[in-house]
Structure 1
Amino acid sequence: MATHLVFSCLHQYLGSCVYIGQRFREEVTDMANRVITQETRRIQVVLDHGPRKKRDWKIRDQLADPIQEEEHLPLKRCLDELESLVGLSKVKSFIHEIYAWLAVSRRRTAAGLTTDSQVLHMIFEGNPGTGKTTVARIMGRMLKEMNVLEKGHVVEVERADLVGEYIGHTAQKTREHVKQAIGGILFIDEAYALSRGGDKDFGKEAIDTLVKSMEDHKDGFVLILAGYPAEMERFIRSNPGLPSRFPIRLNFSDFSLDELVRIAEGMVTTRQYRFSVPAREKLTTHLAEESRCSVESFGNARYVRNIVEQAIRLQAVRLLHTRYISREDLMTLTSEDIRFPTSTTTKSPAYSWYN
């Protein structure tokens, strides 16, 4: 009855407005329909739970609007990127946790409730090739879309970029990189190298400057320190003031054999290639041996990427002087194309490969 009365009055009003276009009439009608549907649902929720006192109707009316699907698009975009990565289940769960906290905090603010900020400086612990830099970039984009960071860009540095050659030079270089990272993320790879030189080393000055910058630019940027787990643990313990400033510690585990093979297959598929059965078996056997024997020096996804890119080049060499080349030939990587470095435990030249 109420719905019929609303639409009757609405059509009567719109009909009297000569200069209102048909499209505008349709849009207004559609808007009214959505409002009525929403209010009907609110009433139905109350009715479904039996009689309510007047104060219950008031409480129901003060509830925040239902969360719309569009509000979760920042998370969906980030999770889509994360889901395209193999493994990282704990990291993906953490990203969702951060997003949920930010989204609900926004709701609390809209409802007039107190919302405290949290420190988002982090430590990423993991061996090379486990996705630390990739996740930092995704994190930056998500924090930008959630209006936590203004730009969401990532400035990647290491010891050589921060430590100077004379007194005062280190503080200057470090402040310059912090300035570049304002509105985004400052990502320091192998951060433990800053403390390797002892008390007289300029690396300590870089650490002190970073700590001061975290106070001076509170909420202005996110600092992520990354490196090997054992080295990062020693680094954090060496400075009593660091643990409390980095409440978030994420561990990036080495990929399993199955995950490494899936990563390799994903890389070749993206490039419109495929492994022959013998090539896949050869790669799997090697990765099983290499990941077992070379724990710290093993490059995980980075190591796999190097093998894939080398295989693509070797396939091109193999096909270059072939007279008849089919589409299948152009797409297939054979066991002949799969070669491996002589050792990941020695600093051999990048071109030192064997079949």
Structure 2
Amino acid sequence: MDQPIRMKSNGQITVSLNSHKRKSLTKELPVPQVVPKVIPPEHAALKEIEDELGALVGMEEMKRMIKEIYAWIFVNKKREEVGMKAKKQALHMMFKGNPGTGKTTVARLIGKLFLKMNVLSKGHLIEAERADLVGEYIGHTAQKTRDLIKKAQGGILFIDEAYSLGRGGEKDFGKEAIDTLVKHMEDKQHEFILILAGYSREMDYFLTLNPGLHSRFPLVIDFPNYTIDQLMEISARMLDEREYSLSHGAEKKLKDHLIWVKSVLNPNSFSNGRYVRNIIEKSIRAQAMRLLLQNSFDKHELMTLRSNDLVFEEDS
């Protein structure tokens, strides 16, 4: 018996399958192809970005999404070469996550990749926040927003804490900035890429402020908080880049502290990789002072951070 097809009021189609049909359908579906680990030479742009992505801890959803975008653009070009239709899609994005989860870093990498693929003519990143868009009188906000979009032509306009544009109510000029962004996202959708970033819950609310917002962000990437093991890996990489290492005692002390701080802080208040970076930088300065007072400068001591060198934000 054929299965019912229901049309929702918003135009989406839902197909209901009974259990028997679902099982047979599952058997017939091909196994998805795994993206090869060795990237062919013709995909040099992806290979270069892959190497940089490999240096980022976690972010598996984001890495998968970037490969997917690359594949779509590449295949679209192949379709054009053989005379097939290859309709461009808007590539505006929304990054949802807490501070210190790598959103700005990823935005820069995307600009780099799209420049190499000729999706963007410049690939540069213009960072902005509410104060850069919102003016002081009627008409001022629209002009400031247009000026920023003009600067971002050929690249990416990255607006952090974008939800703050909708916090002032109906009379706030933030709404004017949102309306201007929506208009230019459509009119100039292939001339620049807009990436809005912020906390997950606040960004979900932000999308309700203008009926045109939701549909204009086809790419939404979640940046989850790092786990303890990932934070430890981030700290190890930061130290290695600076030619430092933790003693066994310092490593245990840092891990215990991270476990504690994640248990007591509101997840939205924890700045993830940024928190770890601040600890590393303060601790390096503390180690320098200790070595100066001890007058001890052999290579091993110059490299090693000990447990009493560690400085946590709560201590400073």
TM-score range, shorter chain: 0.7 to 0.9
Distance 1:257 1:176 in 2: 42
Paired position in structure 1 for 2:169:
198
Match for residue 94 of structure 2 among 119, 123, 129? 123
**C-alpha displacement at 1:166, in angstroms?**
1.1
Match for residue 99 of structure 1 among 70, 81, 85? 70
Paired position in structure 1 for 2:125:
154
**C-alpha displacement at 1:99, in angstroms?**
0.5
Paired position in structure 2 for 1:335:
307
**C-alpha displacement at 1:111, in angstroms?**
1.1
Paired position in structure 2 for 1:83:
54
**C-alpha displacement at 1:147, in angstroms?**
0.4
**C-alpha displacement at 1:218, in angstroms?**
2.4
Paired position in structure 2 for 1:109:
80
- CA deviations on 1:10-54 (whole Å, 9 max, x unpaired) are xxxxxxxxxxxxxxxxxxxxxxxxxxxxxxxxxxxxxxxxxxxxx
SS of structure 1 residue aligned to 2:268 = coil
Match for residue 286 of structure 2 among 314, 332, 337? 314
**C-alpha displacement at 1:297, in angstroms?**
0.4
Paired position in structure 2 for 1:286:
257
The amino acid that maps onto 1:339 is V
**C-alpha displacement at 1:321, in angstroms?**
2.6
**C-alpha displacement at 1:292, in angstroms?**
2.5
**C-alpha displacement at 1:182, in angstroms?**
0.3
The amino acid that maps onto 1:177 is L
The runs of at least 4 consecutive aligned structure 1 residues that moved more than 3 Å come to none
**C-alpha displacement at 1:237, in angstroms?**
1.8
Distance 1:324 1:302 in 2: 30
SS of structure 1 residue aligned to 2:208 = helix
Q: Does structure 1 conserve the Cα–Cα contact (< 8 Å) formed by 2:179 and 2:210?
A: no
**C-alpha displacement at 1:289, in angstroms?**
1.4
**C-alpha displacement at 1:252, in angstroms?**
0.3
Distance 2:132 2:294 in 1: 48
Question: What is the TM-score with the length of structure 1 in the denominator?
Answer: 0.77
Q: How does 1:160-199 map to 2 (within 5 A)?
A: 160-199=131-170
Paired position in structure 2 for 1:266:
237
Paired position in structure 1 for 2:185:
214
SS of structure 2 residue aligned to 1:340 = coil
Paired position in structure 1 for 2:225:
254
Distance 1:323 1:289 in 2: 34
Q: Does structure 1 conserve the Cα–Cα contact (< 8 Å) formed by 2:99 and 2:271?
A: yes
Between the two proteins, what is the percent identity of the paired residues? Answer: 55
Are 1:224 and 2:195 counterparts?
A: yes
Q: How does 1:48-63 map to 2 (within 5 A)?
A: none
Distance 1:323 1:292 in 2: 39
**C-alpha displacement at 1:324, in angstroms?**
3.5
Distance 2:182 2:296 in 1: 63
The amino acid that maps onto 1:77 is E
- Structure with the higher helix share, 1 or 2: 1
**C-alpha displacement at 1:70, in angstroms?**
3.0
Paired position in structure 2 for 1:302:
274
The amino acid that maps onto 1:137 is R
Distance 1:105 1:292 in 2: 47
Question: What is the TM-score with the length of structure 2 in the denominator?
Answer: 0.86
Distance 2:254 2:180 in 1: 46
- CA deviations on 1:45-94 (whole Å, 9 max, x unpaired) are xxxxxxxxxxxxxxxxxxxxxxx933200001111101101000111000
The amino acid that maps onto 1:171 is A
Distance 1:120 1:182 in 2: 14
Are 1:134 and 2:134 counterparts?
A: no
The amino acid that maps onto 1:311 is S
SS of structure 2 residue aligned to 1:241 = coil
The amino acid that maps onto 1:150 is S
**C-alpha displacement at 1:133, in angstroms?**
0.4
Task: Structure 2: give runs of 5+ residues left out of the alignment.
Answer: 1-38
Larger Rg: 1
Paired position in structure 2 for 1:51:
none
**C-alpha displacement at 1:311, in angstroms?**
0.6
